Amino acid sequence: MVLSCDGVRKTFGAAVVLDGLSLEVGEHEVVALIGASGSGKSTLLRCVNLLAEIDDGTIRLDGEDITDPRTDADLVRRKIGLVFQSYNLFPHMTVLDNITLAPVRVHKRPAAEAKEQALEWLARVGLADKATSYPDRLSGGQQQRVAIVRALVNNPRLLLLDEVTSALDPELVGEVLTMIRDLKGDGMTMVLATHEMGFARQVADRVAFLDRGSVLEQGPPEQVLGDPVEARTRQFLARIIEAGRL
Amino acid sequence: MTPSTIQQDRIAYRRRQAIRSVLLAALSTAVLGTLLGVLITGAPGWQRVRQSFLDPHIGREFLPTILQGLWLNLRMLVVCSLCALTLGLLVAVLRTLRGPVFFPVRALATLYTYSFRGLPLIIVIYLFAFGIPGLRLQATPNVTVLGGAAIVITYGAYLAEVFRAGIESVHPSQIAAARSLGLSYRQAMRFVVLPQAVRRVAPPLLNDTVALQKDVGLISLAGPIDAIRAAQIGVAQTANFTPYVVAGVLFVLLALPLIGITDWVTLRAARRQNAGA
């Protein structure tokens, strides 16, 4: 298992956001997290990346307990990529500098080599001409693709995608989803929180429905999205269909 | 392509309006200027004031010594503002350090910004320039250096707070993004937070530097002959206030470039924000 979460609990004051959540993700597997707002999808991703500290349970990366307080969080984060809903590119740096910052400063790779790799990636995702642009000159879809490249150049073991298309105009969603589909083709292990049910069905090997801070139901996309066992999953999907999102 | 008739009408109308605006502005300026001129020169004491504040002979006589003093102000301005900016940035960063080891450092930095923002600069200059030599230590620096140190320490406290405001204005998601890439807290600060923070607070920082430039004149209280001290000597010799006016005009001239840069930087920052950056 690349990632295994066991009995993870996370509270913010009185609010219990993750309540004994368990989830396993195998090598080359793509797991889509679905569920209502506040069901804990984003919180789980932040906990896995150690940006938030869990209150109980364990999270293992390649079998190693990363929630042990003695682990070096910086070392763990080097192996996990995280892409945010709001891109969070660094506005004072060019696209190229955004991408090469971690390879050069964290992984201590030669600047020329990091630049070459960044340019290759940009060419691959169709943004070669944007290398010297600043993020505010890019569309949302372009910014999000740069953010994904920025996470990928660290060669992560695991890529976490936190509702990466939620802030995008509908006509820009496709370009980001195409990129993620390509990554699946490359064998990247991914966990993605998403509201795009159609996309989850296409790209995910497994869909996990989060409800009240734990995984209520999980399985192949056709089963969870097409013929859910749990009543709450059915309710959730009914609301999604009502909103015209499936 | 020639604009349509309706657009040509609009262009002609706007041109007429523009000419009207310029004429109106010129007229109102002339009226106000005349009014002020009549009011001041017509005042009963105008002749006396002109003699004691605007005597061209005395002004010319003391201009060289005042200029010589101003050279000291200028040098102090450059050195003090650079030192104060460095000190301010350092203290602001120290205040953001986390972890129990840094508690005393944080506490000291906080105490410093609290006390020196409250303490009048004049008192700090007196304490430094007259208090420190009183300790009779070996190799006490001269009063100019001590006075400069007083200015640096006082302004460092203000600038530290400006820098801190800038650091806090950078959204936490930027730090989260940096940390998620594996950057350490220090690296996130250095490469992501500080560059954005400094850009954002550049206008207020420069504004404080303009204020510092005036206050550099206060070291005359400690003894060194700067522009104000030189003017004071002139006033004492001639019983005429013209040297003060000369020094004042020179200070304004000295400040103009810095004020200009501040306005330019502020304008540029505002434009960038409007552009949605």
Residue A96 falls inside a structural domain: no
Mean pLDDT of the region A118-141: 93
Residue A207 falls inside a structural domain: yes
Angle at alpha carbon of residue A61, lines to A56 and A63, rounded to 5°: 95
Residue A197 falls inside a structural domain: yes
Q: What is the pLDDT of residues A96-110, one digit of tens each?
A: 999 999 999 999 999
| Distance of residue B200 Cα from the nearest chain A Cα, in angstroms | 11
Residue A138 falls inside a structural domain: no
Mean pLDDT of the region A186-197: 92
How far is Cα A18 from Cα A7, in angstroms, rounded to an integer?
Answer: 9
How far is Cα B200 from Cα B166, in angstroms, rounded to an integer?
Answer: 6
> Could you tell me if A217 and A209 are in contact, meaning their C-beta atoms sit under 8 angstroms apart?
yes
| Distance of residue B238 Cα from the nearest chain A Cα, in angstroms | 57
pLDDT, residue B258, reads: 87
Number of other residues whose CB lies within 10 A of the CB of residue A183: 18
Mean pLDDT of all residues in chain A? Answer: 93
pLDDT, residue A232, reads: 94
Residue A106 falls inside a structural domain: no
* Residues 46-65 in A contacting B (C-alpha not used; CB under 8 Å): 46, 49, 51
| Contact call for A77 and B180, based on CB within 8 A | yes
Residue A2 pLDDT > 70: yes
C-alpha pair distances (Å), B270 with each of B185, B192, B263: 30, 21, 10
Give residue A37's pLDDT band: very low, low, confident or very high (50, 70, 90). confident
* Residues 141-160 in A contacting B (C-alpha not used; CB under 8 Å): 150-151, 154
Structural domains in chain B plus CATH codes? 52-271 (1.10.3720.10)
How far is Cα A224 from Cα A213, in angstroms, rounded to an integer?
Answer: 18
User: Does residue A92 belong to the interface with chain B, where contact is any CB pair within 8 Å?
Assistant: yes
Identify the CATH number of the domain in which residue A25 sits.
3.40.50.300
pLDDT, residue B99, reads: 83
> Could you tell me if A125 and A145 are in contact, meaning their C-beta atoms sit under 8 angstroms apart?
yes
Q: How many domains does chain A have?
A: 1
Residue A108 falls inside a structural domain: no
pLDDT tens for chain B, residues 1 to 277: 788 999 999 999 999 999 999 999 999 999 999 999 999 888 888 989 889 999 999 999 999 999 999 999 999 999 999 999 999 999 999 998 888 899 999 999 999 999 999 999 999 999 998 888 888 777 778 888 999 999 999 999 999 999 999 999 999 999 999 999 999 999 999 999 999 999 899 889 988 998 998 899 898 888 888 899 999 999 999 999 999 999 999 999 988 998 898 888 888 877 776 654 4
pLDDT, residue B277, reads: 42
Q: Which domain holds residue A172?
A: 3-90+157-242
Give residue A245's pLDDT band: very low, low, confident or very high (50, 70, 90). low
ipTM attached to this prediction: 0.90
User: Does residue A106 belong to the interface with chain B, where contact is any CB pair within 8 Å?
Assistant: yes
> Could you tell me if A81 and A154 are in contact, meaning their C-beta atoms sit under 8 angstroms apart?
yes
Picking from A100, A105, A109 by the largest number of B CB atoms within 10 A of its own CB, the best residue to mutate is A105
Residue A104 falls inside a structural domain: no
> Could you tell me if A42 and A162 are in contact, meaning their C-beta atoms sit under 8 angstroms apart?
yes
The 8-class DSSP code of residue A192 comes to: E
